[in-house]
Structure 1
Amino acid sequence: MNTDLNRLTSYINKFDKLKILVIGDLMLDIFIYGSVDRISPEAPVPVVEIKKEVMMPGGAANVAANLKALGVTPILAGIIGNDNNGSLLKNLLNEMQIDNQFIIDDGRTTSTKTRVVAHSQQVVRIDKEEKHKIKKKDTDKLLSFIEDIKNSIDAIIISDYGKGMITKYLIEQLVANFSEKIITVDPKIENFYYYKNVTSLTPNNKEASTATNIKITDEESLTKCGKHILEKLKSKSLVITRGEEGMTIFTEENITHIPAVAKEVFDVTGAGDTVISVFTSALAVGASYTDAAIIANAAAGIVVGKVGTATTDRDELLKQIPNLINSTKEI
């Protein structure tokens, strides 16, 4: 076993010593699986005969589920509605033994995404949600909770799905009061320039391009885009995930490209949640930004080969790591 493999596997084997706070937009993901044998006589749409229905934690809750699968102890903070789907989500998390601190808003609908899947293909997605900003008093409640637990946590993940949980005020307070912690962000375009002075961001190719108005078409435009984000947000690092092109990590010192490892892509649902979960965990056990990105890239290659809002565990990750050794490239 070479030195690189020893080092990377040693980080993964330390994940169970971590406690990480996830704060962000909570969702319930519902997957309805069935088969299609005919077109409706009422309209030119497929008729799906339902075979199975599965409920999973979504959004920031899926980030917590990813951490749990890796052996990390997650703490989840966010807001849900006083409705049936909010109760279902909370019950799911309790069954998974994920500690949660929820604000319940009587005037809010719990964000729910329902996906209908037939023959391994998504037929339609139905979203039920509200996007109004969380009240300042509720943000202050969550900040008070974080203050109470800050000495016991190793990192903070901000999972922004643009549903109102993440505000400029929240980001500013987190950075000002918890600057000694690793703070990573899975960003949303509309809030992109709120995330100043965090440890790292993990936008995908489209989010990075849209936020900067720089269309990524080659290494030159990719470099220009990444450097622009680092300069504007003053983050310590940036990971741009690029689908089948892998991912590229930017720091002040260098830019490193890591190729994708997935042999076959079935479903990209939740892949970004996996990336930020693994990347943050690796940073929290002492990995460099590049090593953390290599491990996160390996995890992404696993989950896109699964159907649904998938996670990976340490055993799967340890088996995948050798596929990435010596495959990185500085640009």
Structure 2
Amino acid sequence: MSDAQDELLVDQVLEFRGGPIVVVGDLLLDRWISGTADRLSREAPAPVVRVRGREDAPGGAANTAMNLAALGAAVRLVGLVGDDEPGSALLALLEAAGVDVSGVVRGSGPTTVKTRVSAAGQVLMRFDEGATADAADGDAVAAALRGALPGSAAVLVCDYGMDAAGAAVRTALAEDRGAVPLVLDAHDLAPWAAVRPDVVTPNAGETERLLGRALGDDRVRSATEAGAELRQRTGAAAVIVTLDRDGTVVHADGGPSRTLAKPAPDANANGAGDTFAAALVLALAAGMDVHRAARLGQLAADVVTRLPGTSVCTANDLTASLAGGARLLDERALVAALGVARAAGKRIVFTNGCFDVLHRGHTAYLKQARALGDLLVVAVNDDESTRRLKGPGRPVNPVADRAGVVAELACVDFITVFSTDTPIPLLETIAPDVYAKGGDYLPEMLAETPVVEANGGVVRILDYISPHSTSDLIARVRAAGVAGA
């Protein structure tokens, strides 16, 4: 599919303003503990992790709901959490993202929590806590689902075997779902065959269990040849076999098709299936056929596999991904994205500027800044603060254009816009590991230095390319214009 066709897909989905998407299934809280490990314990051959940060993120069906909300959809979430601190933390994260959690039941058992400990970006271990739902909890979730279904545009089930989406939920969907699309993401698809889902999304292992045989070395060929068998065994109108680095194989009316994935580290695959399912169901609700909806799901999954931790794909991410650009985030979204990156041990570099007319001096120092860490955040002054700093007649270009041009640079990972004369408030909020500044400064000359160092960061002054400045460039252009007149 061409870039132009991809852009049309994204535009169609992001313009969707239909009824809410109902997400029902197993909710969990992902907890990330990150730090450094440079020695082994004396008690046992185990690394000693010096903790630098902690971050919570919704997981499972909750992560799917977060992805839908980030794409601009209205979301009703139905599921089960415990009446405990992790359950309250999970609900708070969801509500802050705009997810309707009125259908989430407080159950009798503890909230499911997966805690990962990482050092320098490497996960060292994971602790799983929680319990499966009992029959009473399952009935309560089914009742909440029946209340959430009226007026919905589509339903997505995330069944990971914790019994929140058990027999009672299957009965509720069979009786009350109506004509809206039903997408099923389940570890065990067999019990759902009688519900006749519209689309199921088994991964490689789930596909092998359905078939009772291994896919072998040529997974794509085996999944392609098994289309009729997979549709018969799942009772689904369409089957999308997700094969991580090998993309997907789609079996639906019109014959099989494929989507291709962008290469990414396997360690970044956490939550990519949730993102795929979210974008897929939103595309179906917007009226796309399954083949095009799968392509949209692949584009969204490709975004999050380039990021560490449990991440989401936003509307801005999708459009920026098509252009090959960085992620343009507001402050709240930036803090969340950097929290996940920091939990995975990433070294964060921050710089700022007006970037009114981008020139070689800018690109040179941004490349140098990116080399100082794992992620580069560029904060761009808004129009009012640029005018205060640079004087009348500036900026030449509005902030949307300035930020958009910087976002096209391959060395930039995140873009944000700020309105203050200095980035100090933003530095206090995000606490980067490195604050990079271009020009003929010393760290002691900068008001930002004490703030950065107080939060454990360092200031680095990058090479100054004297013949290149925006003011000089604008003056030469204006002089040439006068001479030409």
TM over 0.5: yes
Find the partner of 1:193 among 173, 191, 199. 191
Distance (whole Å) between structure 2 residues aligned to residue 315 and residue 96 of structure 1? 15
Distance (whole Å) between structure 1 residues aligned to residue 307 and residue 67 of structure 2? 14
Contact 2:240 2:249 in 1 (8 A): yes
Letter in 2 for 1:193: P
Contact 1:175 1:198 in 2 (8 A): no
**Structure-2 residue corresponding to 1:147:** 146
Contact 1:185 1:200 in 2 (8 A): yes
**Structure-1 residue corresponding to 2:251:** 250
Cα deviation, 1:213-238, whole Å, max 9, x if unaligned, reads: 12112244213433322012221111
1:6 and 1:221, CA in 2 relative to 1: closer, same or farther beyond 3 A? closer
Name which structure has the greater RCO, CA cutoff 8 Å, separation 6+.
1
Deviation at 1:2, TM superposition (A): 7.3
TM-score (norm 2): 0.62
Q: Which runs of 5+ in 1 are unaligned?
A: 324-331
Distance (whole Å) between structure 1 residues aligned to residue 315 and residue 237 of structure 2? 27
**Structure-1 residue corresponding to 2:203:** 204
1:148 and 1:80, CA in 2 relative to 1: closer, same or farther beyond 3 A? closer
1:69 and 1:247, CA in 2 relative to 1: closer, same or farther beyond 3 A? same
Contact 1:203 1:240 in 2 (8 A): yes
Contact 1:18 1:281 in 2 (8 A): no
Contact 1:184 1:280 in 2 (8 A): yes
Cα deviation, 1:26-58, whole Å, max 9, x if unaligned, reads: 111100011110111111111111000001111
Distance (whole Å) between structure 2 residues aligned to residue 15 and residue 32 of structure 1? 37
Cα deviation, 1:190-213, whole Å, max 9, x if unaligned, reads: x53324400111111111112321
Structure 1 segments (4+ residues) deviating >6 Å: none
Pairwise mapping of residues 92-131 of structure 1 onto structure 2 (< 5 A)? 92-100=93-101, 101-106=103-108, 108-131=109-132
Distance (whole Å) between structure 2 residues aligned to residue 181 and residue 151 of structure 1? 10
SS across alignment from 1:269: coil
- The alignment covers a number of residue pairs equal to 319
Cα deviation, 1:135-191, whole Å, max 9, x if unaligned, reads: 2x54444444433443321111111111111213422330332141111111113x5
Q: Which runs of 5+ in 2 are unaligned?
A: 325-485
Distance (whole Å) between structure 2 residues aligned to residue 299 and residue 262 of structure 1? 14
Cα deviation, 1:88-109, whole Å, max 9, x if unaligned, reads: 2122222223211222223x11
Pairwise mapping of residues 299-314 of structure 1 onto structure 2 (< 5 A)? 299-314=300-315
SS across alignment from 1:166: coil
Letter in 1 for 2:52: K
Distance (whole Å) between structure 2 residues aligned to residue 185 and residue 91 of structure 1? 26
Letter in 2 for 1:184: V
Higher strand proportion, which one?
1
Contact 1:266 1:305 in 2 (8 A): no
Contact 1:262 1:302 in 2 (8 A): no
Deviation at 1:321, TM superposition (A): 4.3
Deviation at 1:17, TM superposition (A): 4.2
Mapped pair 1:170 → 2:179: no
**Structure-1 residue corresponding to 2:54:** 53
Distance (whole Å) between structure 1 residues aligned to residue 6 and residue 93 of structure 2? 36
**Structure-2 residue corresponding to 1:69:** 70
Identity of aligned residues (%): 27
1:127 and 1:6, CA in 2 relative to 1: closer, same or farther beyond 3 A? closer
**Structure-2 residue corresponding to 1:328:** none
Mapped pair 1:31 → 2:29: no
Distance (whole Å) between structure 2 residues aligned to residue 183 and residue 278 of structure 1? 13
Distance (whole Å) between structure 2 residues aligned to residue 42 and residue 15 of structure 1? 57
Distance (whole Å) between structure 2 residues aligned to residue 25 and residue 163 of structure 1? 6
**Structure-2 residue corresponding to 1:213:** 212
Deviates more, 1:263-272 or 1:110-119: 263-272
Distance (whole Å) between structure 2 residues aligned to residue 207 and residue 267 of structure 1? 20
1:163 and 1:303, CA in 2 relative to 1: closer, same or farther beyond 3 A? same
